[in-house]
Chains A and B, each alone.
Chain A
Amino acid sequence: MSTLERKKDPFIRISKRSEGMSAGKAWGIRVIGLILALIVSAIVIFVIVRMNPMDVYASMWKGAFGTTKRSWITVRDTMTLLCIACALAPAFAMRFWNIGAEGQVLVGGIVTAACMIYFPEMPTALLFLVMIVSSLAAGAIWGLIPGFFKAKWGTNETLFTLMMNYIAIQLTAFFVSLWENRPNSRKVGIINQNSKEGWLPNMFSEGYNNDFGWNVLIVLVIATVVFFYLRETKQGYEISVVGDSENTARYAGIRVSRVYVRTMAISGAICGFAGFLAVSGSSHTISTSTSGGQGFTAIIIAWLSRMNTYIMLVFTLLIVFLDKGATQIASEFNLNEYCSEIITGIILFFVLGAEFFVDYRVKFRGSK
């Protein structure tokens, strides 16, 4: 009879916030999550290096923004990551789990590198046109394939895009060995080191690698276009209706399969463009780590920003800052740079967890 004697209310009751929460309050909760994350990270850092976490954060700042050059590199990498996150926004707005950004970036990178290697004689303007168009196309194809199968047979897109990543990685490995600079080096090396053909030039001065103004300009344009594409265009409207309910979409005369395929092509194309940025605009080489997990990080950023490309900018900056900063502490304190991934992980865990308190109300026993 023991079950009959329980008379107490449940200790914790959770209910969905029916009335919603003001945007300001919601972001407040997220910021609290972020602060908690920084505190926990600080504790972790302290345990590892036994140093004042404030000093550690200070040297992280030095690593990311200590010199003009470092600032530019931080900005450059932020832009590449932001570009990928923007690419994912349309897919996620459609509730399509494109976790294949990694692969889509790589195929874009491969074709960009191919153009640089095979057409160094081409007029610069034409070369850039070819590089951009082909990287867009390659990414689009890579994204379109899972979109097509999802539309046609409902094939699970999460698993599909995941597999496409590794096919792309192997493809990259293949081309890397095709183009390797010395036999068996497994490295392409810097492409067109001397001629700098196909390198995205400086914006504010002559030459290369002194500023990355073009990267910033292009990606901010993409972010703006994606922002307005999702909010102000018919296609963006179709995407959000499909994301909410396929039935409603059909009811409204939206051709759901077409939207799936088209949106994934767009998402893939922008990822492919990020591959162009990574090769032509940053590293001037190609390797299996050209995307280096950014495709996955971008997923988390896009999700946390709720598909708002400007909020993505804040998150990407934070992540890249951590990365650069950690590399700095690694060299200063003779650690290795992987502690940035630990801190990134911790911060993302907390920010993810904070979403719960935005969406749900928690009541304890006794409180009304």
Chain B
Amino acid sequence: MTQLLTLLHSSIVFGTVIMFGALGEIISEKAGNLNLGVPGIMYLGAIAGLCGPYFYELSCAEAGTTPSGAVCILISIVCAFAASALGGLIYSFLTITLRTNQNVTGLTLTIFGGGVANFFGGSLNVFAGGVGQVKATATTAAFTKYSFTLSALGANADGKGIGYLLFQHGFLTYVAVIFAVLIHLFLMKTRTGLNLRAVGENPGTADAAGINVARYKYLATCIGAGISGLGGLYYTMNYIGGTWANDGTIEALGWLAVALVIFATWRSLNALWGAYVFGIFYWMYQYIGVSGRAIELFKMLPYLVTLALLITVSMRRRKEDQPPAHLGLPYFREER
């Protein structure tokens, strides 16, 4: 039982990283922009979300004041969101205004974002005196502080009850859930959401209906990138505890986020549970006691399942499950 709870608990933590990534990408893809720069964007969010509070805490230390948790969080989130949205802006300018190929531009953004993040991350490590020496202690504490105390939830003595599973998480975990729900409501229940989906399905139609296609694409991609970037932030703060490692994990998680979008058939509520399922897949080997090299095969599961789903969906041809019809294609009015 305890083991199961541990599995589920770490699945939630893992899932939250890719959930942010996937939620942002869903918004972007719903507007027809297949942004393969998600890994790069998550990198940008991760490094900016770390650098901002790191220097804030450093300046506090020099001034001899105690950093405020709220300010830490604010700086961190603003930095992460802004840096990622900036990445999204580069992508948008190239693909929407200059009509470059989306796949190629996205991949370039992944290279660029990874380069920027690892360059500054590596430099930060050097600056701080070695790998693992970067610490934004106050910020990390603020991010990982449990939102609810266990005693209030009737947890059992060793702290491993349902309360542990559901409530011992940093607040971003819940933000992700709220985002998933809000994005669903936004896409399905609002006029703006309807327009956005139309842009991704059939931009010619959207244009003819008076929707400013370019503006929707820009905003969807930039805001989507900002949200994806929070996944990178969550990774640095909650997953590895507020430090930096140039080990390429973020890139792997970024691709997993892209996979999750497919797995979720472009629905944010599916991405919500899908992210946790991916988390379970990822950590399952610990629970069922797989060890050694078989672990690596187990880590294949999320991709295999996504692939199986992708194939099934294409075979069943159910209209509602298909990728947005104009995904990955540029739009130019006079070509109609």
Contacts and interface: CB of A to CB of B under 8 A. Distances in A.
B314 A153 contact: yes
Interface string B299-336: 11001101100110011000000010000100010110
A166 B105 contact: no
A356 B99 contact: yes
B126 interface: yes
B1 interface: no
A170 B119 contact: no
Contacts of A342: 112, 115-116, 119
A170 B112 contact: no
B314 A178 contact: no
B170 to A, nearest CB: 27
Interface stretch (A120-128, A215-223, A294-302, A310-318): A294-302
A345 B123 contact: no
Contact of B303 (A153, A163, A178, A344): A163
A364 interface: no
B116 to A, nearest CB: 6
B104 A166 contact: no
Interface of B is mostly: helix
Given A167-B303, A360-B99, A341 B314 contact: no
Given A153-B315, A338-B122, A341-B111, A303 B303 contact: no
A256 interface: no
A178 B297 CA distance: 12
Contacts of B191: none
B296 A174 contact: yes
B295 to A, nearest CB: 8
Contacts of B246: 336, 338
A173 interface: yes
Nearest to B119: A338
Given A16-B335, A99-B36, A356 B98 contact: yes
B255 A352 contact: no
B115 A173 contact: no
Contacts of A80: none
Interface in A64-117: 97, 99
Nearest to B113: A345
A346 interface: yes
B99 A299 contact: no
A192 interface: no
Interface in A145-202: 149, 153-156, 158-160, 162-167, 169-171, 173-174, 176-178
B334 A16 contact: yes
A160 B126 CA distance: 39
Indicate the member of B116, B119, B122, B315 with the most A CB atoms within 10 Å. Answer: B119
B293 A16 contact: no
Contacts of A336: 118-119, 122-123, 126, 246
Given A159-B262, A174-B297, A15 B334 contact: yes
A306 B293 CA distance: 41
A207 B332 CA distance: 58
A171 B328 CA distance: 29
A349 B112 contact: yes
B115 A352 contact: no
Given A16-B332, A167-B303, A344-B115, A155 B255 contact: no
A246 interface: no
Contacts of B314: 149, 153-156
Given A352-B94, A356-B100, A335 B123 contact: yes
Contacts, number: 157
A28 interface: no
A220 to B, nearest CB: 25
Contacts of B114: 338, 341
A20 interface: no
Interface residues of A, number: 55
A349 B94 contact: yes
B168 to A, nearest CB: 30
A300 B119 contact: no
A166 B259 contact: yes
B34 interface: yes
B196 to A, nearest CB: 21
B210 to A, nearest CB: 11
B311 A155 contact: yes
A348 interface: yes
B119 A353 contact: no
Contacts of A300: 104, 107-108
Interface string B199-210: 000000000000
A349 B90 contact: yes
A293 interface: yes
B34 to A, nearest CB: 7
B109 A334 contact: no
A340 interface: yes
A163 B307 contact: yes
A14 B94 CA distance: 15
A50 to B, nearest CB: 14
B311 A338 contact: no
B129 interface: no
B105 A352 contact: yes
Nearest to A172: B296
Contacts of B292: 177
Contacts of A149: 311, 314
Interface string A14-31: 111000000000000000
Contacts of B304: 167
Contacts of B101: 303, 352
A227 B110 CA distance: 29
Contacts of B107: 99, 296-297, 299-300
Given A158-B103, A352-B100, 11 more contacts: A149-B314, A159-B262, A167-B300, A171-B296, A173-B299, A174-B296, A177-B292, A293-B111, A297-B107, A336-B123, A352-B104
18 contacts: A14-B332, A99-B107, A158-B103, A160-B310, A163-B303, A166-B303, A171-B296, A176-B296, A296-B110, A297-B111, A299-B104, A299-B107, A300-B104, A336-B126, A345-B111, A346-B112, A352-B100, A352-B108
Interface of B: 34, 36, 90, 94, 98-101, 103-105, 107-116, 118-119, 122-123, 126, 246, 248, 252, 255-256, 258-259, 262, 292-294, 296-297, 299-300, 303-304, 306-307, 310-311, 314-315, 323, 328, 332, 334-335
User: A-B pairs with the 4 shortest C-beta distances?
Assistant: A345-B112, A341-B115, A336-B122, A177-B293
